[in-house]
């Protein structure tokens, strides 16, 4: 079924990045956007909304405040509307619970008429019939009906999906699963004899901490294995955090692509390490448990790369590991294996159908303009992108606070005027000479 309206922007996916854009555009009467999300409602990494986990950026990096502190969609207004101002005031914290950030985003999403949930974008075509526009095919997942919408521009906010090594795939998912499914299988963990977490980023640490808290109550053996040389902390000093600023994005963007490809892999600890407070919680628990005990039923193994996994006749799993420095091989048995092996950007298949209009680099990645449009051959209709831009815009591409800066730039370009002032200098240090 065709829809006759011509939208000036259609958004694919409603995670925090497109939700922020929808909230900012809601204040612009001349904007006519529509956003689609396949999930039935806004949900932010539901498998990791563990009680006690916190947003890793200050609440000021909500959906709107960094662009417009007067917006009615601010986190403070959410607190105000829910009559929690005094409690929040006495809490005296910038790092809000992750569950509260999700609840706040849901509150915003319910107020935005431009957001449609339970709708999957299945195809995207460019049409030139005198006018030039996109035809966006969307399936309503409730009644399986497909409709076609028209838009002058589109924005991809499809986020990322859990990355699971091939060798872990195809095994019973209640036994071998990604941290993205942690809460779904937490009860299953409580009944297990042994559990192993593989990986050493923030998600691995949060899952391990949660399992460690309950380890004595449920009596399972708990192991944590990583190929890294340590359970390294995230770089959280204030001057390091300045890498998550528009100034660093601008500096990084103008570097030659070969230089960016050289630098980006060295910046893992800015965003991939473990928060200091999580490491401290884990260490405190281990210390408490060790009082009066000869041996803990817990193991932490570094420098060990998991090479394969197979099911034992008894039903549990045998992991084969290689020590990355001594080259020794060893095996480890566990009833449950949780992989904390990160996420990879989701570039939808339908982008392929636009391949001819997009410019690609020699590694097969799309090229992206400084203002977050894909580089296209004619630039008549814009494809803005939030996802899969680390190779062009660097380490802050998945950061919640910087997403608001990105949306300011996108709104200015989309509406063809300076809706938001974008200051040149925002931080103390300089990255270029
Ligand atoms: C557990 C976890 C915690 C994090 N915590 C922080 C933090 O504290 N601070 C920080 O700065 N960053 C954090 N991040 C990184 C980042 O901010 C988040 O990943 C953020 O969710 C990215 O937002 P997004 O809008 O790009 O994508 P997502 O939140 O991944 O949302 C993308 C949405 O697109 C939908 N979608 C995909 N394809 C289609 C389609 N074809 N049609 C319709 N819908 C589609 C998906 O269903 C999904 O809901 C965290 C990441 C993880 C995994």
| Gap between the Cα atoms of 58 and 80, Å rounded | 18
Domain identity same for 307 and 351 = no
Number of domains comprising the chain: 2
Residue to substitute in 95, 204, 400, 407 for testing ligand 1 pocket (most ligand atoms within 8 angstroms of CB) = 400
| Gap between the Cα atoms of 400 and 55, Å rounded | 10
Which protein residue's CA is at the shortest distance from atom 22 of ligand 1? 159
Which protein residue's CA is at the shortest distance from atom 15 of ligand 1? 398
Domain identity same for 292 and 388 = no
Structure-token match 């997403």, residue found = 403
Between strands 160-162 and 343-345, the pairing is: antiparallel
In a domain, 7, yes or no: yes
Of ligand 1's listed atoms, the one at least distance from the Cα of 55 is: 8
In a domain, 110, yes or no: yes
Boundary-marking domain end, from 324, 339, 354? 339
| Gap between the Cα atoms of 272 and 163, Å rounded | 14
Around ligand 1, the residues with Cβ closer than 6 Å are 12-13, 15-18, 36-39, 44-45, 48, 55-57, 120-121, 157-160, 203, 343, 346, 348, 386-387, 398-400
Entry pTM: 0.96
Domain identity same for 365 and 219 = no
First CA to last CA distance, the chain: 56
Which protein residue's CA is at the shortest distance from atom 35 of ligand 1? 13
Interhelix angle 400-415/246-253, nearest 10 degrees? 70
Domain identity same for 88 and 100 = yes
In a domain, 362, yes or no: yes
Of ligand 1's listed atoms, the one at least distance from the Cα of 399 is: 11
Domain identity same for 67 and 194 = no
Averaged pLDDT for residues 162-191: 95
In a domain, 267, yes or no: no
Q: Is the pLDDT of residue 2 over 70?
A: no
Between strands 194-198 and 336-339, the pairing is: parallel
> Residue 160: enclosing H or E segment and its boundaries?
strand 160-162
In a domain, 404, yes or no: yes
Domain identity same for 34 and 116 = yes
Q: What is the pLDDT of residues 332-369, one digit of tens each?
A: 999 999 999 999 999 899 988 899 999 999 999 999 99
Which strand ranges, in their side-by-side order, compose the sheet holding 329-334?
A: 304-311, 317-323, 329-334
| Gap between the Cα atoms of 142 and 116, Å rounded | 12
CA of 399 to the centre of ligand 1 (A): 10
| Gap between the Cα atoms of 160 and 201, Å rounded | 16
Boundary-marking domain end, from 322, 339, 356? 339
Structure-token match 């270029």, residue found = 432
Which protein residue's CA is at the shortest distance from atom 37 of ligand 1? 158
pLDDT of residue 96: 97
Domain identity same for 108 and 180 = no
In a domain, 429, yes or no: no
Which residues are within 8 A (CB) of 410 and not within 5 positions of it... i.e. 6 or more apart?
A: 21, 155, 371, 372, 384
CATH value at residue 190: 3.50.50.60
CA of 327 to the centre of ligand 1 (A): 37
pLDDT of residue 130: 87
Domain with 303 in it: 163-234+272-339
Domain identity same for 62 and 133 = yes
Domain identity same for 131 and 191 = no
Q: Is the pLDDT of residue 31 over 70?
A: yes
Quote the Cα angle for 392-60-399, to 5°: 20
Q: How confident is the model at residue 163 (pLDDT cuts 50, 70, 90)?
A: very high
Domain identity same for 179 and 152 = no
Boundary-marking domain end, from 339, 356, 372? 339
Domain identity same for 98 and 225 = no
Q: Is the pLDDT of residue 169 over 80?
A: yes
In a domain, 145, yes or no: yes
CA of 129 to the centre of ligand 1 (A): 35
Q: How confident is the model at residue 1 (pLDDT cuts 50, 70, 90)?
A: low
Residue to substitute in 38, 62, 351 for testing ligand 1 pocket (most ligand atoms within 8 angstroms of CB) = 38
| Gap between the Cα atoms of 332 and 92, Å rounded | 45
Q: What is the mean pLDDT of the chain?
A: 95
Domain identity same for 310 and 187 = yes
Q: What is the pLDDT of residues 90-100, one digit of tens each?
A: 999 999 999 99
Averaged pLDDT for residues 387-416: 96
**Secondary structure letter of residue 234 according to DSSP:** P
Beta strands in 194-316, from DSSP E residues, in sequence order = 194-198, 221-225, 298-301, 304-311
Of ligand 1's listed atoms, the one at least distance from the Cα of 98 is: 8
Which protein residue's CA is at the shortest distance from atom 26 of ligand 1? 159
Of ligand 1's listed atoms, the one at least distance from the Cα of 61 is: 11
In a domain, 73, yes or no: yes
Q: What is the pLDDT of residues 240-259, one digit of tens each?
A: 999 999 999 999 999 999 99
């Amino acid at each position: 079924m065709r829809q006759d309206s011509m939208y000036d922007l259609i958004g694919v996916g409603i995670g925090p990045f497109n939700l922020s854009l929808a909230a900012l555009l809601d204040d612009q009467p001349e904007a006519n956007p529509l956003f689609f999300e396949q999930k039935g409602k806004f949900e932010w990494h539901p498998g990791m909304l563990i009680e006690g986990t916190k947003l890793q950026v200050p609440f000021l990096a909500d959906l709107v405040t960094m662009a417009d502190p007067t917006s009615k969609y601010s986190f403070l207004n959410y607190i105000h509307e829910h009559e929690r101002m005094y409690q929040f005031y006495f809490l005296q914290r910038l790092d809000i619970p992750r569950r509260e950030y999700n609840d706040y985003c849901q509150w915003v999403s319910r107020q935005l008429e431009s957001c449609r949930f339970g709708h999957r974008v299945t195809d995207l075509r460019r049409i030139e019939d005198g006018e030039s526009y996109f035809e966006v095919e969307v399936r309503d997942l409730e009644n399986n009906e497909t409709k076609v919408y028209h838009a002058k521009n589109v924005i991809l906010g499809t986020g990322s999906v859990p990355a699971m090594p091939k060798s872990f795939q195809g095994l019973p998912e209640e036994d071998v699963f990604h941290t993205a499914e942690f809460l779904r299988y937490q009860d299953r963990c409580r009944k297990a004899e042994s559990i192993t977490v593989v990986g050493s980023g923030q998600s691995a640490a949060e899952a391990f901490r949660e399992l460690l808290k309950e380890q004595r109550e449920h009596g399972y053996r708990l192991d944590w294995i990583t190929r890294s040389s340590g359970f390294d902390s995230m770089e959280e000093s204030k001057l390091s955090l300045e890498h998550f600023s528009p100034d660093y994005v601008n500096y990084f963007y103008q570097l030659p692509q070969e230089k960016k490809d050289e630098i980006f892999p060295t910046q893992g600890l800015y965003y991939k390490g473990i928060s200091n407070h999580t490491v401290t919680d884990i260490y405190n628990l281990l210390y408490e448990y060790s009082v009066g005990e000869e041996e803990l039923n817990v193991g932490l193994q570094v420098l060990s790369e998991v090479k394969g996994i197979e099911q034992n006749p008894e039903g549990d799993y045998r992991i084969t590991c290689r020590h990355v420095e001594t080259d020794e091989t060893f095996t480890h048995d566990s009833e449950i294996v949780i992989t904390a092996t990160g996420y990879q950007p989701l570039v939808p298949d339908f982008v392929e159908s636009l391949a001819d209009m997009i410019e690609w680099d020699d590694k097969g990645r799309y090229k992206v303009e400084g203002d977050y449009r894909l580089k296209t051959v004619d630039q008549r209709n814009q494809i803005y992108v939030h996802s899969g831009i680390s190779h062009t815009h660097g380490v802050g591409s998945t950061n919640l606070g910087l997403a608001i800066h990105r949306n300011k730039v996108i709104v200015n370009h989309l509406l063809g005027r300076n809706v938001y002032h974008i200051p040149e200098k925002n931080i103390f240090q300089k990255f270029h000479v």
